[in-house]
Amino acid sequence: MRQQHLDRLTSIDASFLHQEGRSSHMHIGGVLVFDGPAPSFDRFADHVRSRLHLVPRYRQKLAVPPLQAGRPLWIDDPDFNLDYHLRHTALPSPGGEEQLLTLAARIASQQLDRSKPLWEMWLVEGLDDGRFTLISKTHHSLVDGISGVDLASVLFDLTPEPAPGQEDLEPWHPHPEPSPAELVLAGAVGAVEATAGLAARAVAAAARPGASAGLLRDALEGLGELVWAGLNPAPETPLNVPIGPHRRYAVVRQQLADYKLVKDALGGTVNDVVLTVVSGALAAWLRSRGVRIEGLEMRALVPVSVRTRDQRGALGNRLTVMRGPLPVYIEDPVSRLRFVRAAMDGLKESKQAIGAATLAAVNNLAPPTILAQASRLNFSTRLFNLIVTNIPGPQMPLYMGGRRLRDLFPVAFLPERHALAVAIMSYDGNLDYGLLGDYDAMPDMDVIASGIEESLTALLAAARGRGGRRPRGSAERPARERRRAPSRPEDERRQPASRPQEERRQPASRPEEEERRQAPARPADTPLLPTARGRAKRGPAVEMRARAARPPRPAPDPPSEPGPPPDRRRADRARRTVDSQEAQDGR
């Protein structure tokens, strides 16, 4: 789909504009860490300029018809200035990732200027170990997660050698800015086209009454399930409080192979494992705040892409949403994964996604005022507690100017009264978490970051040991357990390899250990296991057991001089007699 002048925003794209406020910014982005020194800013700007023609929407801005007569449109920006959208800065000393994440949070705290194309990109120098960073910020009305990944393929190369740029590019000539009458006319044309599209589908449905009846039934069932979900609101939690404009940002590095190991051993999908890990982290965070979690099941808004193959590379949003479960009350990680898997399977078999798609199609005909109200319902705290989005990225290394991209941390957005958003992106074997939180409501967001690591560690132990018992001699877990959040001190990351072995020798739980300590001692003649036949009532073995069961006699005073040595041959004969008798008894 071409990105043309006077394109009308879809209802989903426009909903992100309606939901934006002073405290709820509707832009998304990423923090991209590269190996090697940063290129010069002029060279970086030339690189972006040479590929900007592949994404014309990045040189377009919003235009609203007068009196809000229709949805906004994309128009060419005649005053487009690339230097405004590309920013250049450096980290303060010592240039660690803590300073980088602070900068990323401050950039995410600032709204984009709607009078210009809705994106920014920051070139950040001064990161330790000779690295540099790109921080991107793009309004959600412009891209969704999937198309954002496609844009990365425009800016990046698949090999260290940059692809040769096109030298015969024609200068860009923007269309003249339309008049108010032209904006109204373009909006009316877009509405007519949308109505004609629905009419064409209605005619096609009438030609196939059997199949159309099934589709209509599915749509009605989907709408009914959405209404039922709205009548069963998400629980109230400390996450659903008024938020401000300022943000905190934290990241967690993990490996995609670990999630595949868990899902292969315990069942489910990678997304099921992600929701299970997030549930465990939220449970630890709620307990740290003194919140009771018995019977508490939080709800996550999980975006699902409905982008088809022929729509890849096209901008705009092709999304629907599902409301996934976060059973924070389930302590056992395997049981928690089993619950999430069953619930997500049920949602996939339900008609919620069809109902959401039906609403989106109907909203394409709605006027802006009705669309604004519908978008508020979609982001209501009655429906979900937080956003959890898992974005599949390229599973091969990417390069920019010969520098390899090492980490790709996503940045989500916070709707009103939602103090936390969790975004996950897989890239080149990594699975990186980006946690965006409200600055005032989430001062302890590092507890959630630590909880993500601990929750995955528990699932890995269960996956490797088939129910929590790890096989002997495994040497993989210590190395993986040392993988920490990048904002933690280096000395916390370097843990001795013997510690996991010591932990495995400890009891599974302290309450069980206390019960065993307080339990009465087992009599000496009580069998550990039931035997197939009864013990003999006579014989040397019975006499030996009877003597062992008697209370010990007080020891006599030691003689002043040592007595004669014991008869070892008599003791050996007695021991052989007992062994022979026990063998006959079937022991």
H or E element that contains 160? none
The alpha carbon dihedral of 377, 383, 388, 391 has a sign of negative
Q: How far is CA 186 from the centre of its chain?
A: 40
CATH number of 209-388+414-498: 3.30.559.30
The per-residue DSSP string of 71-107 comes to --EEEE-TT--HHHHEEEEEPPTT--HHHHHHHHHHH
User: What average pLDDT does this structure show over 134-147?
Assistant: 80
Better-scored residue on pLDDT, 313 or 389: 389
What pLDDT was estimated at residue 354? 56
pLDDT at residue 495 above 70? Answer: no
Contacts of 57 (CB under 8 A, 6+ apart): 3, 74, 117, 142, 315
What is the spatial distance between Cα 398 and Cα 428, in angstroms, rounded to a whole number? 9
Contacts of 389 (CB under 8 A, 6+ apart): 145, 302, 303, 410, 412, 421, 422, 423, 424
Phi/psi at 424 (nearest 5 deg)?
-130, 135
Mean of pLDDT over the chain: 76
What pLDDT was estimated at residue 483? 38
What is the spatial distance between Cα 263 and Cα 271, in angstroms, rounded to a whole number? 9
In 3D, which of 149, 151, 191, 188 has the Cα closest to residue 10? 191
Pairing relationship of beta strands 298-305 and 420-427 according to DSSP bridges: unpaired
What is the spatial distance between Cα 98 and Cα 238, in angstroms, rounded to a whole number? 25
Domain 7-163+182-207 falls under CATH 3.40.50.720: no
Distances (CA, A) of 524 to 519, 521, 571: 15, 9, 21
User: What average pLDDT does this structure show over 194-219?
Assistant: 61
503 near 552, Cβ under 8 Å?
Answer: no
Domain borders along the chain are 7-163+182-207, 209-388+414-498
What pLDDT was estimated at residue 295? 94
pLDDT at residue 131 above 60? Answer: yes
| Domains 7-163+182-207 and 209-388+414-498 agree in fold | yes
In the structure encoding, which two tokens stand for residue 377, read together?
Answer: 């319902």
Better-scored residue on pLDDT, 219 or 561: 219
DSSP state at residue 363: H
Better-scored residue on pLDDT, 39 or 587: 39
The per-residue DSSP string of 198-262 comes to HHHHHHHHHH-HHHHHHHHHHHHHHHHHHHHHHHSPPPP-TTSS---S-EEEEEEEEEHHHHHHH
DSSP state at residue 507: -
Distances (CA, A) of 88 to 47, 48, 124, 225, 398: 15, 14, 6, 49, 22
H or E element that contains 39? none
What would the pLDDT profile of 36-85 be if each residue is shown by its tens digit?
999 999 999 999 998 888 888 899 999 999 887 788 999 999 999 999 99
In the structure encoding, which two tokens stand for residue 401, read together?
Answer: 């100017």
Q: Using DSSP, state whether 488 is helix, strand or coil.
A: coil
Phi/psi at 475 (nearest 5 deg)?
-115, 10
Q: How far is CA 453 from the centre of its chain?
A: 12
What is the spatial distance between Cα 359 and Cα 362, in angstroms, rounded to a whole number? 5
What is the spatial distance between Cα 206 and Cα 197, in angstroms, rounded to a whole number? 14
Better-scored residue on pLDDT, 203 or 342: 342
Catalytic residue positions, numbered = 140
Banded model confidence at residue 186, pLDDT cuts 50, 70, 90? confident
Phi/psi at 135 (nearest 5 deg)?
-115, 120
pLDDT at residue 362 above 90? Answer: no
What pLDDT was estimated at residue 195? 63
What is the spatial distance between Cα 423 and Cα 414, in angstroms, rounded to a whole number? 11
What is the spatial distance between Cα 481 and Cα 502, in angstroms, rounded to a whole number? 14
Contacts of 311 (CB under 8 A, 6+ apart): 1, 318
Distances (CA, A) of 503 to 461, 496, 500, 517: 12, 12, 5, 19
Banded model confidence at residue 15, pLDDT cuts 50, 70, 90? confident
468 near 334, Cβ under 8 Å?
Answer: yes
- Terminal CA-to-CA distance of the chain, rounded, Å? 80
What is the spatial distance between Cα 239 and Cα 243, in angstroms, rounded to a whole number? 10
For the chain, what is the largest distance between any 2 Cα atoms, rounded to a whole number of angstroms? 122
User: What average pLDDT does this structure show over 158-170?
Assistant: 77
Q: Using DSSP, state whether 582 is helix, strand or coil.
A: helix
What would the pLDDT profile of 372-416 be if each residue is shown by its tens digit?
555 555 666 678 999 999 988 889 999 999 999 999 999 999 999
What is the spatial distance between Cα 215 and Cα 213, in angstroms, rounded to a whole number? 5
What pLDDT was estimated at residue 265? 95
Task: Choose the most confident range, by mean pLDDT, from 6-15, 281-290, 344-353, 562-571.
Answer: 281-290
What pLDDT was estimated at residue 347? 76
402 near 160, Cβ under 8 Å?
Answer: yes
User: What average pLDDT does this structure show over 499-507?
Assistant: 38
In the structure encoding, which two tokens stand for residue 264, read together?
Answer: 């292969």
What is the spatial distance between Cα 501 and Cα 497, in angstroms, rounded to a whole number? 8
What pLDDT was estimated at residue 311? 47
Contacts of 469-477 with C-beta under 8 Å, sequence gap 24+, read 470/504
Better-scored residue on pLDDT, 248 or 211: 248
Banded model confidence at residue 424, pLDDT cuts 50, 70, 90? very high
pLDDT at residue 125 above 70? Answer: yes
In the structure encoding, which two tokens stand for residue 582, read together?
Answer: 């026990």
